[in-house]
Amino acid sequence: MAEHSESGAKDQPQPGAAANTMWGGRFKAGPDAVMAAINASIGFDRRFYGEDIAGSRAHAAMLAARGIISEADGAAIDAGLAQILAEIESGEFVFSEALEDIHMNIEARLGEIAGEAAGRLHTGRSRNDQVATDCKLWVRKTIDATDAALAALMRALVAQAEAGAGMVMPGFTHLQTAQPVTWGHHMLAYVEMFNRDRGRFADCRARLNECPLGAAALAGTSFPIDRQMTASALGFERPAANSIDAVSDRDFVLEFLAAATICAGHLSRFAEELVIWSSVQFGFVRLSDRFTTGSSIMPQKRNPDAAELVRAKVGRIAGALVALVLVMKGLPLAFAKDMQEDKEPLFDAADSLALALAAMAGMVGDMAPDAGRLRAAAGSGFSTATDLADWLVRVLGMPFREAHRVTGRIVALAEAEGCDLAGLALDKMQAIEPGLTAAVHDVLSVEASAASRVSYGGTAPVRVREQVARWREELA
């Protein structure tokens, strides 16, 4: 707040303003309306109400156990906080922007309920360690929900993989037909990706699980608090070891957003495939009515809007990560009000990811692959050329580079003849490589090609079913 010393209006409050009763002892006038608007966070940090009340109840119990406040005051605070929790969850609680944030809104209401005892709750803590604790509790809860959503999506993918373990489809590189693969193998590729996402979120959870409460503003407190007690009560592994770092750390938010961005990228890649596959031109898969929309003018349309919106969510989530990186990059230790800007991007990214995961799980659960279209496409583009080259190496002992050259000539001939490799007459192939025999046709079908890829991690149906069994056990 500016002090208008030159005008002599230093001590004059702005019209309609009043000093904030929570921190107004130092100030004679209330904040300017613009200051109040830019400073207030209750419009979004009210989402922390459950975490804020849990942290305050743990702190009050610790203060009473240590004799810093009386047991009677501790009981009054706890009962008051329980009442406030019920009021918020029932919709009766009235949030005030004049009280800035969730902490002060709850504290003010506690004063109305518990009287003088409420004023003792803030002993040995600051809003700095309070908000850091709230945020960690919220991110931890959100990680747990995200993990459950990822597991649900993975189960839907495993179900698709099991049903299509032997269903051949084209495998692509550069979006060009490469080699035949199985539908189940393709589905399991995303299972692996989303499992890595679970690992990243788990790593983030493990690192964030240190309790800032008791770090106070930045230097700790002179009161004989028991930080291990509050940490344990809130489910943290330990108290944060450095009070300055405890209040200035937002690495856990950045790490959550980074993991969310990678996960959203995986969702976007799959969504892109669903958009392509569900087109009339591809026809690989049909999405259900539950996850498609129509057109206001073209009655024949089935638009993959859910997939398109999932594809777009990565922009918002990655934007949240970049926004917070830029907020944090130049901040000196310890706490600065800039850090208030962590919450809105965090909340938006978490909401966007949760919605995208739910939509993708729904689409995967409902989608129906067209086995005939997939099989036909699997044989396009001379997809079994590598199988021919491998046969030349395995049966004729030809160096692979030479086999590659010979196969290329045979492919060119088949293209000129207007047929696939399996349909090319043996004598025409022998004109290029006399050592070829009729046995070569055994490897040129798309089913034979897929079934031959039996190396660990390969597309062969037998390997797919092994992986399905493994994932069913892990996701049980």
Which residues does residue 180 pair with via DSSP β-bridges, in sequence order? 170
Quote the CA–CA distance of 427 and 148 in Å, as a whole number. Answer: 58
Residue-wise burial string across 41-61, b where 16 or more C-beta atoms lie within 10 A, e elsewhere? bbebbbbbbebbbbbbbbbbb
Query: What is the pLDDT, as a whole number, of residue 292?
Result: 86
Over residues 409-419, the pLDDT tens digits come to 999 999 999 99
Over residues 428-458, the pLDDT tens digits come to 999 999 999 999 998 999 999 999 999 999 9
Task: Provide the residue type at 273 as one letter.
Answer: E
Which residues does residue 171 pair with via DSSP β-bridges, in sequence order? 179
Quote the CA–CA distance of 400 and 295 in Å, as a whole number. Answer: 52
* CA distances from residue 157 to 94, 145, 304, 365, 399 in whole angstroms, order as listed: 44, 19, 18, 8, 39
Query: What is the pLDDT, as a whole number, of residue 148?
Result: 98
Confidence category of residue 320, pLDDT binned at 50, 70, 90: very high
Token pair listed for 458:
């390969």
Share of the chain above pLDDT 90, in %: 84
Closest CA to 145 of 365, 307, 358, 343: 358
Which of helix, strand or coil describes residue 284? coil
For 414, left (φ over 0), alpha (ψ -120 to 50), or beta?
Answer: alpha
Token pair listed for 262:
């990678």
Token pair listed for 311:
């594809």
Quote the CA–CA distance of 305 and 231 in Å, as a whole number. Answer: 45
* CA distances from residue 142 to 53, 57, 208, 250, 354 in whole angstroms, order as listed: 17, 21, 12, 16, 9
- In degrees rounded to 5, what are phi and psi of residue 256? -60, -45
Confidence category of residue 32, pLDDT binned at 50, 70, 90: confident
Q: Please, is 141 exposed, middle or buried when counting C-beta atoms within 10 Å of its C-beta (0-12, 13-18, 19+)? A: middle
Quote the CA–CA distance of 458 and 189 in Å, as a whole number. Answer: 11
* CA distances from residue 134 to 103, 139, 363 in whole angstroms, order as listed: 10, 9, 34
Over residues 3-27, the pLDDT tens digits come to 333 333 334 333 334 445 565 566 6
Model pTM score: 0.89
Report CA torsion sign: 437, 443, 446, 448: positive
Quote the CA–CA distance of 442 and 391 in Å, as a whole number. Answer: 10
Give the alpha-carbon dihedral of 145, 344, 107, 142, to 10 degrees.
10
Using the predicted structure, report yes or no on whether residue 127 has a pLDDT greater than 90.
Answer: yes
Please identify which of the residues 174, 222, 296, 455 carries the catalytic annotation: 174
Query: What is the pLDDT, as a whole number, of residue 7?
Result: 35
- The predicted model gives 344-372 an average pLDDT of 97
Share of the chain above pLDDT 70, in %: 94
Q: What is the DSSP string of 260-320?
A: HHHHHHHHHHHHHHHHHHTSTTT--EE--GGG-B--SS-TT--B-HHHHHHHHHHHHHHHH
Least confident of 33-37, 341-345, 401-405: 33-37
Closest CA to 68 of 113, 103, 120: 120
Q: Does 122 qualify as catalytic in the annotation?
A: no
Using the predicted structure, report yes or no on whether residue 1 has a pLDDT greater than 50.
Answer: no
Over residues 82-94, the pLDDT tens digits come to 999 999 999 999 9
Please identify which of the residues 70, 279, 295, 380 carries the catalytic annotation: 295
- The answer to whether 290 and 362 have CB atoms below 8 angstroms apart is yes
Q: Is the peptide bond before 334 cis (omega within 30 degrees of 0)?
A: yes
CA 106 from centroid of its chain's CA atoms: 30
Token pair listed for 152:
């649900």
More confident residue, 15 or 183: 183
Quote the CA–CA distance of 310 and 287 in Å, as a whole number. Answer: 14
What residues contact residue 192 under an 8 Å CB cut-off, 6+ apart?
none
Token pair listed for 83:
């009442």
- The predicted model gives 262-287 an average pLDDT of 96
Determine the longest span between alpha carbons in the chain, in angstroms.
105
Using the predicted structure, report yes or no on whether residue 301 has a pLDDT greater than 90.
Answer: no
- In degrees rounded to 5, what are phi and psi of residue 280? -60, -35
Query: What is the pLDDT, as a whole number, of residue 21?
Result: 57
What residues contact residue 234 under an 8 Å CB cut-off, 6+ apart?
54, 55, 58, 133, 137, 211, 213
Least confident of 21-35, 244-258, 383-397: 21-35
Quote the CA–CA distance of 132 and 98 in Å, as a whole number. Answer: 22
Using the predicted structure, report yes or no on whether residue 424 has a pLDDT greater than 50.
Answer: yes
Q: Tokens 């989303």 map to which residue?
A: 194
Least confident of 66-70, 260-264, 358-362, 379-383: 379-383
Using the predicted structure, report yes or no on whether residue 215 has a pLDDT greater than 90.
Answer: yes
